[in-house]
Amino acid sequence: MTAIITASELAAELAGDHPPVVLDVRWQLSVAKAAGAPAFDGRAEYAAGHLPGAVFVDLDRELASAPGEHGRHPLPDLAEFGAAMRRAGVSAGRPVVVHDGGHGWAAARAWWLLRWTGHPDVRVLDGGLPAWQGPLTTDVPAPAEGDFAPVPGAAGLLDADAAAALARSGVLLDARAGERYRGEVEPIDRVVGHIPGAVSAPTTENVGPDGRFLPAEELRDRFKALGVSEGDEVGVYCGSGVSGAHEVLALAVAGIPAALYVGSWSEWSADPSRPVVVGPDPQ
C-alpha cells in the first residue's frame, strides 16, 4: 500500500462506490504572533472552500496535546484523538485521505498518528490542496460517526532517550532547516544546535518545486547519501514532531521504515541536562 495518492486518483475514488474519508488539516508553523500579526487560521481557510465531503481537523487541538515539558506538539490524549477521528467519520474499515494547504507537514502528522494507532489504510494527498483540480465547496458535511479505536503501535515512536541511543546505533535524521541544525538561527526554541550524532536532512528537500514528493528512487538515493543503509534503524526529529512526520512519510514513500521522536527539539532543548552540538558536523 502506498502512503500517498495523487489528486486524479483521489477524484476517481471519491466518485466511486466506496469513497475514502477526507480530512482537511490545514495548518502552518507561524511565528507571526511574536510580531503582533494574526496567526494562520486553518478553520477559516477551510470555511472559505474545501474538498466536497472533507472534514476539518485541528492539528493543535486534535492531533496534539497542550504544549509543555514534552514539547510544543506532544502526543494527543488517545481517547480524545479517537473521539475526534470518530466524529470525522473515521472507521477502521474505510480508507482515509489526509491533506493540508500544500507543504504536507500537517497532513503527515495526521497520517503518522493514524498509522501509529492502527489504522490500516491512510494516504496523504501528494501536493496538498493546490494539487486538487476539482471543485471546492463551503458546505460543511455531517459524517456518520466512525468506529476507529486508536491502539498505539509497539514501534514507530521515540522518546528523548531512544532518540539519543538511535543517533549512536542507527541513523537519526534532523528534518529542520539546515541553519537551525547548525545553530546559526533559532526562531522558536531557546537553545540552538542539534542532538549529538544526528544528521541534517531538511524535509523540504524531499519534494519538488510543486510540493510533491520526489520519485521513490530519488528519495532512496537521497537517504542513502545521508547514510541510511539497508537494515539500518532510522529515526527522525524536527522542531516539534510535525515536519519530522513529513520526513517519515518521505521515507515511507522510499520504502524505508522510520520512527518519529515526537517531542523533538522543543522537548530536547528544554532540558538543560541534554547535550547539544552546534555546527555542521553530527558530533
| 57, 88 Cβ separation under 8 angstroms | yes
Transcribe 74-142 into DSSP letters: PPPPHHHHHHHHHHTT--TTS-EEEE-SSS-HHHHHHHHHHHHTT-S-EEEETT-GGG--S--B-PPP-
Transcribe 213-250 into DSSP letters: BPPHHHHHHHHHHTT--TT--EEEE-SSSSHHHHHHHH
Rounded Cα–Cα distance for residues 108 and 124 (Å):
7
| 25, 106 Cβ separation under 8 angstroms | yes
Question: What dihedral angle (degrees, nearest 10) is formed by the CA atoms of 45, 49, 53, 55?
Answer: 10
Catalytic residue check, 236: no
Question: 29: closest CA among 103, 83, 94?
Answer: 103
Q: Which of the residues 29, 84, 199, 238 is marked catalytic?
A: 238
Catalytic residue list: 238
